[in-house]
Amino acid sequence: MNYFIIPGLKAGHSPIEIVRQISVASTYDVEVLLGNRRYGDLPDARHVAMYIIKKRCGISLVKIAEMFNTDHSTVLKGIRKVNDGIYTQDKIIMEYLRRMDEVR
């Protein structure tokens, strides 16, 4: 697990608080992050939010999917994309994680 990547978040943070922090870090509105639009790096921001919610809150994929109005396989794909991005040091993913630390 990559908890050290996001030192600003504690286990007690709620999923919506995490989405709000991603909103500040990404400049996308909370409603846009929770929606289904796909433009620019919005999907990356959304995937980072899903990843952090799963890692920090331990919520099931189904519950995260309900929150983002999607299905659990989409959430799983997004979480895997962030995991891969951390492993390969993807610039966009790493930038969002860095910004999350600054938002704190």
Of 38, 32, 24, nearest in space to 100 by CA: 24
Q: What pTM does this model have?
A: 0.83
Break the chain into its structural domains and give their ranges.
12-103
> Of 3.30.460.80, 1.10.1750.10, 1.20.120.420, 1.20.120.330, which CATH number belongs to 12-103?
1.10.1750.10
Mean pLDDT of the residues in the chain: 85
pLDDT above 70: percentage of residues in the chain: 86
More confident residue, 1 or 79: 79
pLDDT-derived band at 73 (thresholds 50, 70, 90) equals: very high
User: 56-60, 67-71, 91-95, 99-103 — which one is most confidently predicted on average?
Assistant: 67-71
Torsion of CA 67, 56, 59, 40, to 10 degrees: 30
